[in-house]
Structure formats: structure tokens, C-alpha cells
Amino acid sequence: MTVTEATRTPTADAAVPGCLSAGRAAQELTLKRGEFDLAVHLGLIRAEPATAGARPRIRQQEIDRLRGLPGFPGSLRDQVRTAGTAEGAELLGVRPVRFTGLARIGCISPVAFYLNRYRAVVWLYLVDELLAFAAREPDLIGGKNPVGMRTMLEGGTDWRARNWRSRRIDRLLSRAEDPWTRAALQASALDPVQLAEVVEDPYERSYLARMQPESVFGRPGSVSGREAMTRLMLADDPDEILWRRVNLTLELEQARELRPAPRPGYDPAIRPAPVRPARDRPAAAPPAPDGTGTPTGQSGPAPRRPGWSPGAGRGLLVRLGLRRPGRGDR
């Protein structure tokens, strides 16, 4: 079964007038539950913002709009149709090992996954994206593997999990407006040790944990699905870890300016947030070695504050734990 992401359904979920539950909406749209969750994640189905602990609900007007689209329901199903390695290789007309190699070096990125009977992760790819890649890069489909591709594969490169994390976080960031929610999404890719190095305040770490959507994965109560998702959520490449740490630091700066993290005896709605001196605020992230502003090989949103001046990154690197504080950083 596909391991998809969905918000937890509380035992007492009050009905919203004019809205349908996720399960009922999936039936109305003749979609399987995994297809429905993927369609919502991709933005094909507009869901109402969920309250804390509740699944997103769909307005009846949105159901009517989708049912009125040309070719419904087949046209909607085609947009969320996925393929594993064997079917994907058949669609591209290549051997499964070639298909896996293309995925490992990032030519094609997975959109979902499921666990097989051996608890191994099986990646799934959007069929539309596979067909578009084949039309765009025919030279990579036929013939021998390019030298660069062989070098990467021989070196053990595997960007499937990283690319899945990147597109998932980017999609959620595109719908998130609250700075603390955006910071929480960046923090979700860091393990507790990395997170504590960037966010020293335990109240802020606790608040970031609360701001992340409560999610279940796979079948309700599926321990294996939760464990697999937990492993795949965490960045495991130095470039990716640095990228998330930098963006978390920048998102946190904006979040703190909006309101402080709640703590015992402090009500941010009554007492204004303290304003820190400008010299204590984090500088913009330094450019990557390739000069693009993005760590090499990693996609993701550009840092929110691009202004860079000589020496401006020293304070940021100290806060990230990547540089010892010098005389000018104290």
C-alpha cells in the first residue's frame, strides 16, 4: 500500500457545513485513497485549511468543479497515476537497472513510496513526468550510460530519498504562510542533534514540533509505515543538511520577528515580542561553491534574505555550528 501523507483524524471531528470528509470526497471523485491524498498534495484538489489535528476537508463546489472537467474521472486519475521501477522501465523502453540508475542520479524523482512485504521501500514516480522526461532526454534513454552517470553510480550516488524530501517540503512550503510553520517544515529534515545545534532554545524546538502537521502514513496504526517515513524524512547528505540548516536559520529569524515561541508565563498575544539589536540578527546565507546560491546537486527554495556582504556569513556559520566564534563574532 502506498505510504502517503495525511493529517490525523480525531475521534470527534465536527462536520463543516458545505464540506465533505476526505473519504467521502475520494468516493465522489472515484479515486482510491492513495490517489486522493496524492492529488491533494500536488494541488490538483483544493482542500480547506485543516484545524489542528483534523484532516483537510473538501468543499462541495470543488467536487463539482472537478467532476465537470473534460474527461472526468479518467483525466484526474491520469494526473496521479504512478509507476514503480518495473512499470516505469517498461514505459521508457529501458531495462530496470537503467531506470534505477536514472532515478539514483536525480534524472527522475519519486513522488511517493510504499513498503513491500519485506519492509523495503519501493519508490513510485508520476507517469506523466516519466513520459515528459523520455521526450525531453532521448539520449539518456538509449545508448550507453554517459561517463558522468557511470562515475556517479560507481561512487554510490542515490538521490531518490533526497529528491523526494525536497519536492515534498517545497510543495508544503508553497502553501505555508506562517513563518513558524515554514521553519517547522525546514526543521523536519534535521535529526534532534542537528536541530539542537541550530535552535538552542528548548521552547522554540518544542514549538517547532507542535507546528508540524500531525501525520499518519500508510494504514492507520502501521508502525512500519511510520518508521519508514521517519527514516526518509531526515536529511542524510552533508550538502542537504547544510541547506536545511541555513534555511531554518533564516526562517527562524522571520518567525521571531513576528512572535516569540510560547513559554510558561508568557503570552505573546498580550506582551509584544522583544526586538533584538540589528547586530544580533543572522546575516544572509553565503553562496554555494558553484555560485548558484543552492548547495550543489540540491534543489529547494532560495534563502529568504539574499543580501551578502564580505564577512557577513561569519555569525551565521557560528550559529549553525560550522565555525568557532572568533573575536568579531562575539
| pLDDT digits 0-9 by tens, 181-196 | 999 999 999 999 999 9
Q: What is the DSSP letter of 263?
A: B
Inform me whether the pLDDT recorded for 255 exceeds 50. yes
Instruction: Look over the chain and give the mean of its residue pLDDT values, rounded to a whole number.
Output: 80
Residue 302 DSSP symbol = P
Mean pLDDT of the 47-75 span: 85
Mean pLDDT on 145-156: 92
**Is pLDDT at 49 greater than 80 in this prediction?**
no
Ranking 21-30, 124-133, 249-258, 285-294 by mean pLDDT, the lowest is 285-294
CB 316 within 8 A of CB 287: no
* pLDDT confidence band for 220 (50 / 70 / 90): very low
Please give the residue that has the higher pLDDT: either 19 or 302: 19
The domain 2-79: what is its CATH number? 1.10.1660
Residue 8: predicted pLDDT: 37
For 109, phi then psi, to 5°, come to: -115, 135
Mean pLDDT in residue range 40-66? 84
More confident call, 204 vs 276:
204
Indicate if the pLDDT at residue 288 is higher than 70: no
